Amino acid sequence: MTTFSPSSAPRRSAVVAFAAAALSFVVGSATLAREPREILGATHVNGTYSLTDEPYLIEGARRIQELGFQTIKLYLYPPPANNSSDRAYAFHSPDWPEMRTPTDVAKSRYFREVFAMPFRTYILTVFSGGRGEHYWIRGVSDEEAADETRQFRELALHLMREHRGSGKTFILSHWEGDWAARGSFDGKADATPRALEGMTRWLNARQAGVTQARAEMPDSDVRVYHAAEVNRVRDAMEHGRPCVTNAVLPHTKVDLVSYSAWDTQDDPALLRRALDFIAKHAPDSKDFGGKNVFIGEFGKPENQTEREHVERTVRGVVTTALEWGAPYAVFWQLYCNEARERPVQSAEDVRGFWLIRPDGSHGWASAVLSEMLEKTAEKGPSDGSGIRDREDDRNRDGLRPDESDPR
């Protein structure tokens, strides 16, 4: 693999563009006045190596905090699912309790400790207990919809009560809805109408639980939102194929949309078009308005990509997200989850989706993100909410994927 550094001139111009975008983002949008360190985040899930003897969830959260991010993405759902929290964070973690619902997972000592860390936003991949992750492909019964609503209401209320006074934000999402609706990672396959209808009802049932919880605690300083995640946006945008963006989102009431942006991340202009396309089809949000689309995944496998390409992609995604007004942009991920050889003993044993390598050194993307954050760190404190103040609203006029996922 060729590993070379780009010239200093392109690096300086990219940093200037990033700083300008961040300034425009903060000054130009009263509803999303936050610093980049509150917008940018990283995922920690299913890593194939650990660097300490700490419980794995806690180890990863500490590393993300040390990197300067105030947003973290984690998986929070009960067994026996493949990516359930006890499996996703298994290293040095013998004390997972019996867990039947997402609330049980949130009450575990590992998540309690991470939720007490000074992150501002937690983006949580969440599935209800008692059913398969994607049972809705064959339709959703009245009983299943009611139980989805119950479990999400219970989780949202728990988060608002347990963390009152913290001002934290929790976003409850799922992973890559287009692959899930198709039932495979086949890029040529389309989701069936039944699957798309089932997903619509499933998302609305989850949203109903979160909405009910917020109505029960209208003055909570802890904000809980629900998001759908899309990933095959070009299929809909360029070819008119039935996807989550164009066939599901218009029929939902979701607060936010997460975009796993692997299909456009290398082209800033195409990424911007995709964000516009998603926003056009998504319902507007009271708290986020029409810019309620965020980057839920982006990244590059550094063992298969030249350094210049990695750096260009990371800078392009972050700058585009800030200029467009996305509330978050989350890097995939902290430790690589895709192993070539097990047990992982060296960097060459994984594909390279990382901020930190198996030997503890930082990857190229980590260096780029750190540089970009440092360039805007002097902008001073903000309230960190990134959301319209609720009292102000009342005064207005109503105003990973698993390893088989191809990258």
Residue 402: inside a domain, yes or no?
no
Taking residues 261-271, what's their average pLDDT?
98
Residue 247: inside a domain, yes or no?
yes
Gyration radius of the chain's alpha carbons: 20
Q: How much is the pLDDT for 386?
A: 40
Taking residues 278-284, what's their average pLDDT?
98
What does the pLDDT look like over 111-167, one tens digit per residue?
A: 999 999 999 999 999 999 999 999 999 999 999 999 999 999 999 999 999 999 999
Quick check: 243 and 191 in contact, CB under 8 A?
yes
Residue 135: inside a domain, yes or no?
yes
Cis amide bond preceding 304, omega within 30: no
Does residue 47 register a pLDDT over 60? Answer: yes
Residue 3: inside a domain, yes or no?
no
Q: Is 394 strand, coil or helix? A: helix
Residue 165: inside a domain, yes or no?
yes
Taking residues 350-354, what's their average pLDDT?
98
Report d(CA 122, CA 41) in Å as an integer. Answer: 9
**Which pTM value belongs to this model?**
0.88
Q: How much is the pLDDT for 401?
A: 38
Does residue 298 register a pLDDT over 90? Answer: yes
Q: How much is the pLDDT for 376?
A: 63
Annotate 290-308 with DSSP letters as a single string. Answer: T--EEEEE----TTSS-HH
Residue 219: inside a domain, yes or no?
yes
Residue that wins the pLDDT comparison between 173 and 378: 173
- CATH number of the domain bearing residue 165: 3.20.20.80
Does residue 343 register a pLDDT over 50? Answer: yes
Q: For the chain, what is the domain count?
A: 1
Residue 106: inside a domain, yes or no?
yes
Residue 405: inside a domain, yes or no?
no
Residue-range definition of the domain harbouring residue 254: 8-394
Q: Average pLDDT over the chain, rounded to whole? A: 88
Q: Which long-range contacts (CB under 8 A, 24 or more apart) does 129-135 make?
A: 129/77, 129/78, 129/99, 129/100, 129/101, 129/102, 129/104, 130/100, 130/101, 132/81, 133/77, 133/81, 133/83, 133/174, 133/180, 134/180, 134/183
